[in-house]
C-alpha cells in the first residue's frame, strides 16, 4: 500500500456509533472569512477542498453559542443561522461522504470584545479592554443551556459533532483557574466546583444531542500560566468530561495572555505531544494532540510514541490543502509545509484582515484565486529563483506554460538561503525542498549559474519575461561606511565575515533582529531540541508544575557578545515585527542582554567605533564590528535595460519594490501574476 509509511495515521478510529477514517484532524482556525458577506460559500469551498483531499475530520473555527458569547459573525444561535451552516456541511459531505465536520463552540467569556462579555468573576483579561460582567446563578444556567442548544442547532445544520473549547482564557477555562474565578458558590472554590461548569456543559450537551453525535472537549493540558492548572487537575477535568459524555479529549497549550511561545516557528515540532500522552494514559476515550505538527512523519511519530490517538493540524492545512492526500500517495516531498511564521494567518487576524498563508496565497481565497489550465501555452522566461521567481514558475508551469527559470547562483531560494541559517528558522528548508520538487514535477527548465542578460532574453523568443531578481542590500551614506570594522548581513549570515565580541547593528528591521539572534545564539537551535526550548522559556515538562511554568526561571544561553541593535526611528525597537511573533524575538534578545536603541543619528565610523547622536546626545559605540542591516534596494537594471530595447517585462517580489518587502508579498504577487498570465 502506498501509505505503509504512515500506517497509524491511516488507521480508522472507531468511535462506536461512527468512524473517523484516519487520524488527521484539521484543527479549529478562525479565518476571518466567517465575517465576510459571502462567508458560507467561501467557507464551504475552503473546507470542501480539504475534505476532498482526505482530511479525516474538520473542526470549524470557533462559533459563539449566544450574543454575549460571540465575536462578530461567527455564531450559531438561531434556527435562521442553521441554513447558512448547511451550505458548509453539504459541501464537505458531498466532497467526501466519509469526512467528518464538527462545529467548534467557542464562548470567549472575558475575551469577548464588548461590554456584553461575561465571566465567573468581574476580572479583566490583561489583553482586553472590557471588564466582564460577573455571571449570577441564572446567568450560568443560561450559558450552559446555550451551549447545549448550539450543539443541537449544529446537529440540525448537518455537522457530525461539536468541539467545546475549555481552554485558552475563554469562558470555560476562566472557571477552572483561581485567578479568574473568585466565586464562593458551587461554581468556585475547590477544583471540583471550578470544573463543574465544564462538566455540566458536556453532560447537558450530551443529553440534548443524543448518543450518536461527536462531542470533543478541549482541555487546557498545559495552560502556561503562573499558578495555572496542576497536572492532576487537568486529568480530573479530562476524566470528568469523559464521564459526562465526551467522545474525544483534545489538548490545548497556552492561554492567549501567556508569554510563552507555543506555535511560533522556533517552537520545536510536536514539542507538547508528550503532555497529551500523559493525559491519554488516564483516559479511555481518544486523545488529540496538536502544535507544530506540520508533516506526516511527525504525526506518525507522535502516534507511534503513544502520545495521542489523533493529530490536529491547523495551519498546515492552510499551507497545503492536499497534505493528507499527498501523504497517502507517497508524495510527501510535494507537501507545501507550514513554516509556522504566522505572517499571513494569525498576524492578519490580529490586524483586522482575514487569514491566508505566506506559502499558499490561495488559502481562504479558494473562490477567487485559481490556477486553471492555460488556453494558450506561452514561452515564459523568469529571472531569479528566490521566493517570487519560484512561486511564479511553479504556478505558471503547473498551468501549462513552458517556463525557463534563470538563476545566477548555484542554487534556488534567493534570500531564503540566508533565512534558513537563522536559529529558529529551520523550517525555511522545507519551502526550498517544496519548490525544488515542484520545479521537477511541472517540468520547469531551471538554468542555475546563469545570469540572465538583456541580449539573450530579448533574443530568446519568449512571449513573456518576468523579472524576479530580488534586491541589493542598502549601503547607507555614513562617513566611514567602508571602514574595515563594517560588514554586511549577508557575509555575517554566510559565515564569511569575522564578528568581534562587541557589535553594533545598524538597522533593526526583520533582518537586524535575525542577525542579532544569529550572533548572540549559542549551541544547538532551540527549535531542534525540546529540552533547550523548555529551558529557554521556563517550561518544566517533566514535573509539570502548575501551568507547566510556575516557579520555573527561563535559563539564558548566549554567545557572550555585547550587541547594540540600532534604529533611527524613535518608536520602540521591534515595533514593526509580526504581531504574534515579534514579542518572542524582543524577549529573547532582551534576555541575552542585547541593547535596543532607537532615535539614533549616525555621525561617522572610524577606529574608535560608531559615533552617533542618540536622542540629541552624543554617544560612541566603541565596538569591534558594525553590521549593516539597513534595508534594501530593488534590482531593476535588467528590467530597465530591456525597456531600452522596447522589450516589456513584468517585475515581481523585491525587484518590483523593496520597501516593506517580505516573502508573503513576493509569493502572493508572483502567484497572482502566474494565475493571470
Active site residues: 170
Write the CA distances from 613 to 66, 563, 575, 600, 617, integer angstroms.
56, 18, 21, 6, 5
Q: Using the rule CB under 6 A, is 581 a contact of ligand SF4?
A: no
Min dist CB 359 to ligand NAP, Å, is: 13
3-state helix, strand, coil split of the chain in percent (to 5) is 35, 20, 45
DSSP string, 256-302: TT-SS-SSSTTSPTTTTHHHHHHHHTT-SS-EEE-SS--SHHHHHHH
Instruction: Residue 236: name the closest of 215, 224, 220 by CA.
Output: 220
Q: Using the rule CB under 6 A, is 383 a contact of ligand FAD?
A: yes
Strand-pairing partners, residue 63, are: 105
Nearer to ligand FAD, 209 or 577 (CB): 577
Min dist CB 604 to ligand SF4, Å, is: 41
Min dist CB 265 to ligand NAP, Å, is: 9
Q: Using the rule CB under 6 A, is 661 a contact of ligand FAD?
A: yes
Gap between the Cα atoms of 62 and 165, Å rounded: 8
Q: Which helix (H) or strand (E) holds 600?
A: strand 600-606
Phi, psi of 438 (to 5 degrees): -70, -30
Interface with ligand NAP (CB under 6 A), residue from 37, 410, 617, 660: 660
Gap between the Cα atoms of 199 and 235, Å rounded: 13
Residue ranges in 485-529 assigned as alpha helix (H): 489-493, 510-520
Min dist CB 431 to ligand SF4, Å, is: 8
Instruction: Residue 382: name the closest of 393, 374, 396 by CA.
Output: 393
Identify which range of 250-258, 352-360, 528-536, 646-654 contacts ligand SF4 by CB under 6 A.
352-360
Q: How many CB atoms lie within 10 A of CB 232?
A: 11
Using CB distances below 5 to 8 A depending on partner kind, what does residue 509 bind out of ligand NAP, ligand FAD, ligand SF4, none?
A: ligand NAP
Q: Using the rule CB under 6 A, is 318 a contact of ligand SF4?
A: yes
Interface with ligand SF4 (CB under 6 A), residue from 224, 328, 340, 446: 340
Q: Using the rule CB under 6 A, is 341 a contact of ligand SF4?
A: yes
Nearer to ligand FAD, 349 or 661 (CB): 661
Q: Write out the E strands in 92-170.
A: 100-105, 118-119, 133-134, 161-165
DSSP string, 82-105: HHHHHHHHHHHHHH-TT-EEEEEE
Instruction: Residue 48: name the closest of 316, 366, 347 by CA.
Output: 366
Q: Using the rule CB under 6 A, is 120 a contact of ligand NAP?
A: no
Using CB distances below 5 to 8 A depending on partner kind, what does residue 68 bind out of ligand NAP, ligand FAD, ligand SF4, none?
A: none
Using CB distances below 5 to 8 A depending on partner kind, what does residue 244 bind out of ligand FAD, ligand SF4, ligand NAP, none?
A: none
Nearer to ligand FAD, 225 or 432 (CB): 432
Whole-angstrom distance between the N-terminal and C-terminal Cα of the chain? 39
Q: Using the rule CB under 6 A, is 201 a contact of ligand SF4?
A: no
Output the nine-digit C-alpha cell for 5: 509509511
Q: Which three-class secondary structure state does DSSP give residue 545?
A: coil
Residue pair 634/352 in contact (Cβ under 8 Å)? The answer is: no
Q: Which residue is nearest to ligand NAP (CB)?
A: 509
Q: Using the rule CB under 6 A, is 451 a contact of ligand FAD?
A: yes
Identify which range of 19-27, 40-48, 119-127, 332-340 contacts ligand SF4 by CB under 6 A.
332-340
Using CB distances below 5 to 8 A depending on partner kind, what does residue 357 bind out of ligand SF4, ligand FAD, ligand NAP, none?
A: ligand SF4
Nearer to ligand SF4, 255 or 428 (CB): 428
Identify which range of 41-49, 368-376, 382-390, 561-569 contacts ligand FAD by CB under 6 A.
382-390
Q: Using the rule CB under 6 A, is 345 a contact of ligand SF4?
A: yes
* Contacting residues toward ligand FAD, per CB under 6 A: 341, 343, 383-389, 406-409, 414-416, 418-419, 422, 451-452, 468-471, 493, 510-511, 514, 635, 638, 653-655, 661-664, 666
* Contacting residues toward ligand SF4, per CB under 6 A: 315, 318-319, 338-345, 357-359
* Contacting residues toward ligand NAP, per CB under 6 A: 343, 474, 476, 506-512, 514, 567-569, 578, 629-632, 660-662
Amino acid at each position: 500500500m502506498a501509505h505503509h509509511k504512515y500506517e497509524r495515521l491511516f488507521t480508522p478510529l472507531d468511535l462506536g456509533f461512527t468512524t473517523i477514517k484516519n487520524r488527521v484532524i484539521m484543527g479549529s482556525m478562525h479565518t476571518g472569512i466567517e465575517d465576510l458577506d459571502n462567508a458560507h460559500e467561501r467557507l464551504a469551498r475552503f473546507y470542501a477542498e480539504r475534505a476532498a483531499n482526505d482530511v479525516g475530520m474538520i473542526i470549524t473555527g470557533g462559533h459563539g453559542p449566544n450574543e454575549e458569547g460571540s465575536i462578530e459573525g461567527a455564531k450559531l444561535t438561531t434556527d435562521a443561522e442553521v441554513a447558512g451552516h448547511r451550505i458548509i456541511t453539504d459541501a464537505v459531505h458531498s466532497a467526501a461522504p466519509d469526512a467528518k465536520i464538527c462545529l467548534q463552540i467557542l464562548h470567549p467569556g472575558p475575551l469577548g470584545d464588548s461590554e456584553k462579555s461575561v465571566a465567573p468573576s468581574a476580572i479583566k483579561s490583561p489583553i482586553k479592554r472590557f471588564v466582564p460582567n460577573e455571571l449570577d446563578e441564572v446567568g450560568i444556567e443560561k450559558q450552559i443551556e446555550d451551549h447545549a442548544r448550539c450543539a443541537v442547532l449544529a446537529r440540525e445544520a448537518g455537522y457530525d459533532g461539536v468541539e467545546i473549547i475549555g481552554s485558552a482564557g475563554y469562558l470555560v477555562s476562566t472557571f477552572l483557574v483561581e485567578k479568574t474565578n473568585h466565586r464562593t458558590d458551587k461554581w468556585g472554590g475547590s477544583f471540583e466546583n471550578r470544573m463543574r461548569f465544564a462538566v455540566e456543559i458536556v453532560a447537558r450537551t450530551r443529553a440534548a444531542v443524543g448518543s450518536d453525535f461527536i462531542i470533543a472537549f478541549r482541555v487546557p493540558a498545559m495552560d502556561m500560566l503562573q499558578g495555572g492548572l496542576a497536572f492532576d487537575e487537568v486529568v480530573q477535568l479530562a476524566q470528568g468530561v469523559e464521564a459526562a459524555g465526551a467522545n474525544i479529549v483534545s489538548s490545548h497549550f497556552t492561554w492567549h495572555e501567556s508569554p510563552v511561545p507555543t506555535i511560533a516557528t522556533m517552537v520545536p515540532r510536536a514539542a507538547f505531544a508528550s503532555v497529551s500522552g500523559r493525559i491519554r494514559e488516564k483516559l479511555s476515550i481518544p486523545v488529540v494532540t496538536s502544535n507544530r505538527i506540520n508533516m506526516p512523519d511527525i504525526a506518525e511519530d507522535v502516534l507511534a510514541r503513544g502520545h495521542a490517538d489523533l493529530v490536529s493540524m491547523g495551519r498546515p492545512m492552510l499551507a497545503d490543502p492536499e497534505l493528507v492526500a499527498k501523504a497517502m500517495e507517497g508524495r510527501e516531498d510535494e507537501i507545501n509545509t507550514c513554516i509556522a511564521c504566522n505572517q499571513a494567518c494569525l498576524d492578519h487576524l490580529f490586524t483586522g484582515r482575514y487569514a491566508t498563508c505566506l506559502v499558499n496565497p490561495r488559502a481562504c481565497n479558494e473562490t477567487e484565486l485559481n490556477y486553471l489550465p492555460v488556453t494558450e501555452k506561452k514561452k515564459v522566461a523568469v529571472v531569479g529563483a528566490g521566493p517570487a521567481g519560484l512561486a511564479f514558475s511553479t504556478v505558471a508551469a503547473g498551468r501549462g506554460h513552458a517556463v525557463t527559470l534563470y538563476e545566477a547562483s548555484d542554487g534556488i531560494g534567493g534570500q531564503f538561503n540566508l533565512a534558513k541559517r537563522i536559529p529558529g528558522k529551520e523550517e525555511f528548508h522545507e519551502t526550498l525542498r517544496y519548490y525544488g520538487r515542484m520545479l521537477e514535477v511541472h517540468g520547469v527548465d531551471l538554468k542555475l549559474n546563469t545570469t540572465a542578460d538583456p541580449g539573450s532574453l530579448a533574443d530568446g523568443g519568449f512571449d513573456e519575461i518576468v523579472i524576479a531578481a530580488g534586491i541589493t542590500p542598502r549601503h547607507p551614506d555614513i562617513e566611514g561606511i567602508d571602514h574595515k570594522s563594517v560588514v554586511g548581513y549577508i557575509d555575517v549570515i554566510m559565515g564569511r565575515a569575522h564578528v568581534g565580541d562587541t557589535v553594533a547593528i545598524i538597522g533593526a528591521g526583520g533582518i537586524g533582529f535575525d542577525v542579532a539572534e544569529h550572533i548572540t545564539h549559542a549551541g544547538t537551535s532551540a527549535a531542534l531540541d525540546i529540552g533547550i526550548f523548555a529551558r529557554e522559556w521556563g517550561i518544566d515538562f517533566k514535573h509539570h508544575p502548575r501551568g507547566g511554568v510556575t516557579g520555573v526561571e527561563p535559563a539564558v544561553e548566549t554567545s557572550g557578545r555585547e550587541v547594540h541593535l540600532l534604529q533611527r526611528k524613535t518608536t520602540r525597537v521591534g515595533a514593526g515585527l509580526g504581531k504574534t511573533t515579534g514579542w518572542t524575538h524582543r524577549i529573547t534578545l532582551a534576555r541575552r542582554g542585547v541593547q535596543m536603541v532607537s532615535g539614533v543619528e549616525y555621525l561617522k565610523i572610524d577606529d574608535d567605533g560608531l559615533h552617533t547622536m542618540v536622542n540629541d546626545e552624543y554617544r560612541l559605540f566603541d565596538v569591534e564590528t558594525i553590521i549593516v542591516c539597513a534595508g534594501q534596494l530593488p534590482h531593476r537594471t535588467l528590467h530597465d535595460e530591456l525597456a531600452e530595447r522596447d522589450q516589456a517585462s513584468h517585475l515581481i517580489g523585491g525587484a518590483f519594490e523593496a520597501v516593506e518587502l517580505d516573502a508573503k508579498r513576493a509569493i502572493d504577487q508572483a502567484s497572482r501574476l502566474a494565475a493571470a498570465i
